[in-house]
Every structure is written in structure tokens, then in C-alpha cells.
Amino acid sequence: MQAALRLARRAAGRTSPNPMVGALVVRGGRIVGRGHHVRAGADHAEVAALRQAGAAARGATLYVNLEPCSHFGRTPPCAGAVIEAGVRRVVAGMVDPNPEVAGRGVSALRDAGIAVEVPVREDDCRRLNEAFVKHVTRGLPFVTLKLAASMDGRIATATGDSRWVTGQAARQYVHRLRNEVDAVLVGSGTVLADDPQLTCRIPGGRDPWRVVMDGRLRTPATAKLVRHPRPENTVLVTGNDVPAARRKRLEELGVRVWSFPVRQGRISFRRVLRKLARAGVMSVLMEGGAVTASRAVAEKAVDKVLCFYAPKLIGAEGLPMVGDLGITRMRQSPRLSGSTVRRLGEDILVSAYL
């Protein structure tokens, strides 16, 4: 199952809105077929592994991190292919949470006389596809909040200087994250202060969608994320009452401008996330500043937090990593769980679920 998970992860960031799936066909203790789902619309992992195994699949065991599908999508159902190949036993990491599957694949296999063992290493399998699970069950993308700060929790000096808080290894890690998520989200303050590209700068990487929470549509037409070679993958989220001329100018440059109601000076993160989910976005990396972070946390729109800590001290006059949450008593503080710690060069990465 670990080998299947490693195969599945090869396609991180490429399969949306489908899950990452890896499969192995084993016969006589030897792997005779391997496959993984490369991208949406391509062969599913089971089909690829069975094709490589050929006649050796008959009487073999299929290991796959997700229940074989039983419905027609872009491709035929995998359960049928497994039955036709003559596989004797299937070991699946977890039941597919997709309501269109949800155990039907397992039932079809068992009805055909195939022994099915499920779940196996379910926690690992769910963690790999946590974005898919949330997207298919709740209609929302999985949101990861990324913060980079000094040891005393400051993301910039009093003048706004933030280049660079963390070192090269941490910044490279963020580019790998951008390669794996469907969208990166920031606030307009970040765009105005830093004019970021929000691109993935690693060999063979691909750029995610760029989403800007910009209630007053202040993003200039000269911004780098507007002038991107694929401006249609830049989304400016703004209010309903912004000047039509400003909106038209940006749309003429190819970017998408999404309008939402503004309540008490804010646009609902949940509304934006639902629209992103309907567009096929399963995962969002939030890289905004303190205001964006605090609003997202307050709306309970964040699933996971990544805090990169650099061995530096900036002082009380520096800008905090998270803005005002309106907390007056410790028991009101949002609790995080499942924390892990790792070193990236001189920096420390702490991750936890919110």
C-alpha cells in the first residue's frame, strides 16, 4: 500500500478534480504491473496497472489506495476492468467518499467473487487525498494557510520589508507546494505591497490559479499576475459595486473578475471557495498577509496551517503573522491538532490541522 501511495503522489497537482491513485498488480510475491492516474481524463491507475500486467493479472492481487470506481465518468468504471482481468483479490486503502461510488465498487467486486480487503492504511490514504475528500463530500476546496515569520511571530518589519524572512530551502518548499495545489490565494494588500507573480519556479512545475481577494478592485493592470502569459487563470474577487470601467479594463486583459456582495467591508470566503470548487479547484494555498489570514481563520475557512519560522527576531514594532481575531479569553483560541515539525535549512516548519 505504501508503494501504491508513492505511485499516486507522482501526479500531485495534476489530477483535479479527481483523486490521486496508484495501483500495483502482485502475483506470486512479485509486482507484475504498476500504474497511477496521471491526470483527469487519462486512464485510471487500476487500468494502467492491469494493462502492464497483461495475462499475469489473472489470479493476482491488486493493491490500490482508493476503492475502484463503479460509475462512468470520462473513463469507464475500473471495477469492471478489474473483474474482466480475472484478478483474484483486491486490497484497497479506503472506500471512495464520492457519493457516486461510496462502496459500490467494493460490492461489484465481491458480487463477482473477488475477495476484497478494505481499509488498509486508511489514515495515510485519506491524508494523501484530503483535498479530494473535502471537495467531493462538502463542495469546498481544502485550504492550507501558509505563514512565514520570525521566531517572535513577525512577517515583516514596521516598514513592510519582508524579503526575505525565511531562507532558500523554505522558499523552495513553497514553490513545490504551488506545484501541487490548484490555486494560490492572497489579499490585495500583498499584491500592492509586493507585486508577486505567484508562480511555481521549479523545473517541470506548473502554475496554479492566482486568486486575489480585492474588494475594491485595487489590483493595477500592470500587476505581474495580471500580465501572466495565462491571465485567464488569474481571478480577482471583488465587490458588486466597483466601477464598471475598472472591471472592464482588467477583463479586457484576460483576467477573471468575480463579484460578490460585501458585508461589513468583507467578502465571504465560503462563497468564494464554493465558486472555486465548482470550477474544479480542490486545493487552495493561502499566502495572504495578516488581514487575510485572520479573516479566513475567523470564518473557519482554513483546514491546515503551515508556519515557517526563521531564526530571526524583529520585535514588537514588526507586523504580526495573524491579524485581530477578537479573542479576549484563552478558551476562545482556535485549537490546532496533529502538529508535526521539520527543519528546512535554518528554518523550522510547523504544520497542524485547524
pLDDT tens-place string over residues 198-253: 999 888 889 999 999 999 999 999 999 999 999 999 999 999 999 999 999 999 99
Global confidence as pTM: 0.91
Q: What is the 3-state secondary structure (H, E, C) of the chain?
A: CHHHHHHHHCCCCCCCCCCCCEEEEEECCEEEEEEECCCCCCCCHHHHHHHHHHHHHCCCEEEECCCCCCCCCCCCCHHHHHHHHCCCEEEECCCCCCCCCCCHHHHHHHHCCCEEECCCCHHHHHHHCHHHHHHHHHCCCEEEEEEEEECCCEEECCCCCCCCCCCHHHHHHHHHHHHHCCEEEEEHHHHHHHCCCCCCCCCCCCCCEEEEECCCCCCCCCCCCCCCCCHHHEEEEEECCCCHHHHHHHHHCCCEEEEECCECCECCHHHHHHHHHHCCCCEEEECCCHHHHHHHHHCCCCCEEEEEEECCCCCCCCEECCCCCCCCCHHHCCCCEEEEEEEECCEEEEEEEC
More confident residue, 125 or 263: 125
Residue 82: predicted pLDDT: 95
Band of the pLDDT at 335, cuts 50, 70, 90?
very high
Band of the pLDDT at 102, cuts 50, 70, 90?
confident
The region of weakest confidence among 14-18, 67-71, 73-77, 295-299 is 73-77
The region of weakest confidence among 57-61, 150-154, 286-290, 310-314 is 286-290
% of the chain beyond a pLDDT of 90: 81
Catalytic annotation on 130? Answer: no
pLDDT at 74 over 90: no
Mean pLDDT of 269-280: 95
Mean pLDDT of 128-157: 95
Q: Which of 46, 67, 180, 287 does the annotation list as catalytic?
A: 46
pLDDT at 180 over 90: yes
More confident residue, 162 or 149: 149
Reported as a single tens digit per residue, the pLDDT across 316-333 is 998 988 888 888 999 999
Mean pLDDT of 334-347: 95
Name the average pLDDT for the chain.
93
